[in-house]
Amino acid sequence: MDDSNLTAAVSEALKNRKFLAELQKNLDEADLAVAKLQPVCKACGKCCNFAQAPHRLYASTGEIALLVAKNPPTTAPPLTCPYQQQDACENRKPRPLGCRTFFCEQHQQKPVTSLLQDVYEKSHAKITQLHAKYQIPYQYRELTQACGELNSCE
């Protein structure tokens, strides 16, 4: 399989229920680790406005597969998350690791931001291991572009 074919890679991931279950478990564990840090979220939606934010959100093949499995992306403007409706996420349970571990820095103390990065790094390492374990093609893609690519294949 051509590693650049995201649609084929996501389709392969969606066929492997054990992979998806382990991946969701890893994401749930990341949520628990994040909750212990008590980061501040003002639900302003600014972190998801990638056209104006100084960052981008990347996700692995498996994370993208989980995200689109029950709720395929809709058409959205460039650098706009198709799952953000005003300031709320419409697809929270399967959201990628980056969504779970990133909080607007102006609301955080430095140690919390650093600890959130640690949670991300440890969980992402497990995600890459899961891809290898289940032989799911690993890609790491900017999320809005990936959703647009998958949406154009419908």
Angstrom distance (rounded) from CA 14 to CA 17: 7
Q: 45-54, 79-88, 93-102, 104-113: lowest mean pLDDT where?
A: 104-113
CA dihedral 49, 52, 55, 56 (to 10 degrees): 50
Instruction: Reduce the DSSP state of residue 42 to 3 states and report it.
Output: coil
> What would the pLDDT profile of 28-84 be if each residue is shown by its tens digit?
999 999 999 888 887 788 778 888 888 889 999 999 999 999 988 888 888 888 888
Query: Which residue is listed with tokens 């690993």?
Result: 138
Angstrom distance (rounded) from CA 146 to CA 19: 20
Residue (of 116, 131, 105) closest to 46 by Cα position = 105
pTM score, whole prediction: 0.90
Strands (DSSP E) found in the chain = 58-60, 84-85, 88-89, 140-142
